[in-house]
A and B are shown apart, each in its own frame.
Chain A
Amino acid sequence: MASVLLPVSLLLGALLLIPELFGDFVAYQIGLYLIYGIAAQGLGFIWGKTGVLPLGQALFFGVAAYLAASTLKADLPLVLTLAISGLVLCAIGGFAFLLATLIFRGRSESGPYFSLITLALAMIAEQIAGTATSITGGFNGMSGFASLGHLDPFGSYYYVIVGMSVGVSLLLFILNKLPVHLLARAVLDNEPRLQLLGFPTHVIKGAAFAFSALLAALAGGLFASHQGIVTPTSTGFALSAELLILTAVGGRFHVLGPLLGAVIIGWLSAELRDSFPYWELLMAFVFITVVLKAPGGIAEVCEKVLARFMPSASASRQASAIAAPSRTVQAPAKLKFHDVELKIGVVRILNGVSFETPASGVVSIIGPNGAGKTSVLNTITGNLRLTSGRITFGEDVISSRPVYKALNRGIARKLQVPSVFASFSVSENLTIASLAGRVTLADLFRFSTVRWRSSAISKVLNHPKVPLNRLLNEPVAHLSQGHRQFLEYAMTVAAEPALLLLDEPCAGLSPDETALMTELIKQYQETAQRLVIVIEHDMSIVEAISDKVLVLHLGQVLAFDDYSSIRTNPEVQAVYAGGTK
């Protein structure tokens, strides 16, 4: 907890000293920078963690400022004013959540589209604020209201701002310790993997955007009381651009970075803007340099300097906690393809694939390159939508559904190229996987959830030959291909799904490791009579683990039988021996 309380109390102390040391006017100016800093912290949260970049944060800032101004104009009792402010914040957060989930639902890589839409929204808001003179006062702005609780903007109101600013920083530091923080960062790191682990990533992005909008709106509300006037510039493009610069230069990866950026740039700008005509040009240059060369901004530089003087305590290993029971479907069921066709553009990938697996056992899929093996898995998890036909698992139709729904239906998948969260440590990877299919919304806000370890993962880790136990604190980027295979395997079985899809799990493994992997797969299948589907090229592995073998060729099922029959099947031999089939 010291890592949270120390910086926050230092911040509080420094801010409280400002009026004493520099007088009320400087405190008034710093108050404004802090307000921008709060909005920038929100931007830093969504941009630094999820990688989503909203370009129109001033929309929420401005709308909240206008609403605060009109509420203050009515001169209601303080409690009522605060209640209305709460409602406004909720409404703005809700709107932001809906907007982002809607845009990100369509596809995962809509980042630039989202940025442009938020930018357009801010520009429209500015236009409306400027033209709807009867409501907003037009370009002259809305003024003639007392500040919140009739506090003096040049005096005691400063302490309200300090309170909010410190409160927001504290909240952000706490969020950094919670599992939500892991999920938000995981979106940026490897969104497809997170979806396969059963998390609706568009909802995560929506929530992050709603949070950032909330902070922008909070800042806007504070701004109205502080300035005593709200004009269309508070909701438009220029402020949005300014917030982005503050966040980038200050440092989007650190809680205090955007706040630091807001105060430093705000102060420099006030000092230099009038005497130095190239100030804006200079800022643009600084921004470009930071974006290209030093994405961590000022905060990262400060951290490096601090780290030199205060060597950080070595990461202590916390005892893990037993994860909540898995809620994915675990009852064995049959997987059935009904005349499945898949076309992408003019390319026909699957041409009427039909088969039915037993409810438990290991099914291997073999076939020459381009036969459609991986595509079969892609259709099961929903990564590819069917052109026609359907796929059922037990009683449910599972084809053409969003990818994140697969896990809760009891389907987990390991990808062909090991797909893990590359910027995380091994234990963080395992934690995220342990949340899959188990975590509830409330769990995401408990500190203890960060230490969850699923029993299926523990089983893999505790196997004497599996190499991961020694590597828990290593960043995944340092892992060899083979170790990544085992890590991804452990993450895939974490939710104990009824159906395990493994795409070439033994690729790049040594003979010993291959034996270990097949042993793990067998063990997993036998403990609860589950179904495992493996794509494999190595016939000795296929022979060792398969109960049945599915042979695909040119997007069709060539044969589906046990290993010995497949081996003697003349058609299969023809395909593999390069015959004229």
Chain B
Amino acid sequence: MSTVLILNLAWQISTLALVALGLAIVFGQLRIMNMAHGEFVMLGAYAPFITSSLGLSPWLQVPVCLITVGSIALLMERSIIRHLYGRMFDSLLATWGIAILMREGVELFFGRGYQSVSPPVSGTVSILGTDYPAYRIVVICIILLGFTALYWWSKTSKIANKIKAMVGNPDLAQAVGINTARLSSGAFVFGCCCAGIAGLLLAPTIRIEPMMGLDYLIRSFFALVVGGLGSLEGLAIGTGVIAGTQTVLGAIASQTYGYLSVLTLSILFLWLKPNGVRSSSR
């Protein structure tokens, strides 16, 4: 395996892991099947255009991304999602509508065509004899650091248990002093912001268009199918398998084959191992 392939693998896995983390919180913990998750990736990717059209410094891209994605997610949670806890199928339908709304809205603002942005870190670095874009290396490192911090934090924090309690029995959770309204919107907004940040990080490396989100939704969903819900280890395995299969097969055959094999894999998992490789809940 060439070095480039390995680096590509690391790039694909790390970015997918960030998107899937958001979905793991919203779908795995809050039990909301958010069909608009990919649209938050898309919104995040448009953040550079918002800053440039407002004439702001590129350094403000991150806060602008968080504010746009966060406020839309909060609005969505307070107005619609809040009524859908415990009704997963209805949440799927409602967020499907919201996803269409977000795509059409972005299309009205920015137009239908492809857009691209240049990376904030240009040039390449030489690793083991191959040149690789420096920006990607930086992003991989940032995501790796972020996940390490999250892993450490999740070992000490009680928030995961609180969320589990809230989803399992909202009334009882309230009775023992958990502010369920704040906790659920916090978790939902955090999940969506993961997707938004992932979109912002991906923006310089992809073509940006209103329909781009679906692909991320599906791949991160499949990562959860393979890895199982409820643990960071499962998330890592799932994204590794999905992004790995797609990257390797995409490199030796074609993107279509990569996609097909990912889908076949997911169907096999649903059939033979419906709870995924790792599952702490159930």
Partner-B contacts on A (CB < 8 A)? 51, 53, 55, 99, 102-103, 105-107, 110-113, 115-117, 119-121, 123-124, 127-128, 131, 237, 241, 244-245, 248, 277-278, 280-281, 283-285, 287-288, 291-292, 345
Known: A105-B271, A113-B270. A123 touches B104 (CB 8 A): no
- List residues of chain B with CB within 8 A of the CB of A119: 214, 218
B80 interfacial by beta-carbon distance below 8 Å: yes
A278 to B108, CA, bound (A): 8
Known: A278-B108, A292-B90. A107 touches B274 (CB 8 A): yes
Q: How many residues of B contact A (CB 8 A)?
A: 38
CB A423 to nearest CB in B, in angstroms, measures 15
Q: A128 — nearest CB in chain B belongs to which residue?
A: B256
A-B contact pairs, 16 of them (CB 8 A): A53-B89, A55-B96, A103-B267, A103-B271, A106-B271, A106-B272, A107-B274, A123-B259, A131-B254, A237-B211, A281-B101, A284-B97, A284-B100, A287-B100, A291-B90, A292-B90
B225 interfacial by beta-carbon distance below 8 Å: yes
Which B residues between 100 and 115 are near A, CB-CB below 8 angstroms?
100-101, 104-105, 107-108
Additional 15 contacts, C-beta under 8 A, given A111-B89, A287-B100: A51-B89, A106-B271, A110-B270, A117-B263, A119-B214, A119-B218, A120-B222, A127-B256, A237-B211, A248-B93, A281-B101, A281-B105, A284-B98, A288-B80, A288-B98
CB A254 to nearest CB in B, in angstroms, measures 18
B11 interfacial by beta-carbon distance below 8 Å: no
A291 to B83, CA, bound (A): 13
CB B168 to nearest CB in A, in angstroms, measures 15
CB B175 to nearest CB in A, in angstroms, measures 22
- List residues of chain A with CB within 8 A of the CB of B215: 123
CB B231 to nearest CB in A, in angstroms, measures 13
- List residues of chain B with CB within 8 A of the CB of A131: 254, 256
- Chain B 206-233, CB-CB to A under 8 Å as 1, else 0, gives 0000010011001001100100000000
CB B42 to nearest CB in A, in angstroms, measures 14
B9 interfacial by beta-carbon distance below 8 Å: no
Known: A112-B33, A128-B256. A123 touches B214 (CB 8 A): yes
Which B residues between 36 and 72 are near A, CB-CB below 8 angstroms?
none
Tell me which of B101, B218, B259, B260 contacts A284 (CB under 8 A).
B101
B92 interfacial by beta-carbon distance below 8 Å: yes
Q: A289 — nearest CB in chain B belongs to which residue?
A: B97
- List residues of chain A with CB within 8 A of the CB of B98: 284, 288
- List residues of chain A with CB within 8 A of the CB of B108: 277-278, 281
B187 interfacial by beta-carbon distance below 8 Å: no
CB B8 to nearest CB in A, in angstroms, measures 20
A383 to B92, CA, bound (A): 27
A107 to B275, CA, bound (A): 9
Known: A107-B274, A120-B218, A124-B263. A291 touches B97 (CB 8 A): yes
Is there contact, CB below 8 Å, between A288 and B101? yes
Is there contact, CB below 8 Å, between B90 and A120? no
Tell me which of B256, B267, B274 contacts A99 (CB under 8 A).
B267
B266 interfacial by beta-carbon distance below 8 Å: yes
Is there contact, CB below 8 Å, between A124 and B270? no
Is there contact, CB below 8 Å, between A284 and B104? yes
Known: A124-B263, A237-B214, A291-B94. A117 touches B270 (CB 8 A): yes
CB B263 to nearest CB in A, in angstroms, measures 5
CB B238 to nearest CB in A, in angstroms, measures 14
Q: B93 — nearest CB in chain A belongs to which residue?
A: A291
Is there contact, CB below 8 Å, between B97 and A53? no
A53 to B104, CA, bound (A): 23
B121 interfacial by beta-carbon distance below 8 Å: no
A53 to B108, CA, bound (A): 29
The 3 lowest CB-CB distance pairs between A and B, nearest first, are A288-B97, A106-B274, A284-B101
Q: A286 — nearest CB in chain B belongs to which residue?
A: B97
- List residues of chain B with CB within 8 A of the CB of A102: 267, 270-271
- List residues of chain B with CB within 8 A of the CB of A123: 214-215, 218, 259
Is there contact, CB below 8 Å, between B94 and A106? no
- List residues of chain B with CB within 8 A of the CB of A121: 263
- Chain B 260-282, CB-CB to A under 8 Å as 1, else 0, gives 10010011001110100000001
B88 interfacial by beta-carbon distance below 8 Å: yes
- List residues of chain B with CB within 8 A of the CB of A292: 80, 83, 90, 94
- List residues of chain B with CB within 8 A of the CB of A111: 88-89, 92
- List residues of chain B with CB within 8 A of the CB of A127: 255-256, 259
Tell me which of B90, B93, B222, B256 contacts A124 (CB under 8 A).
B256
- List residues of chain A with CB within 8 A of the CB of B94: 288, 291-292
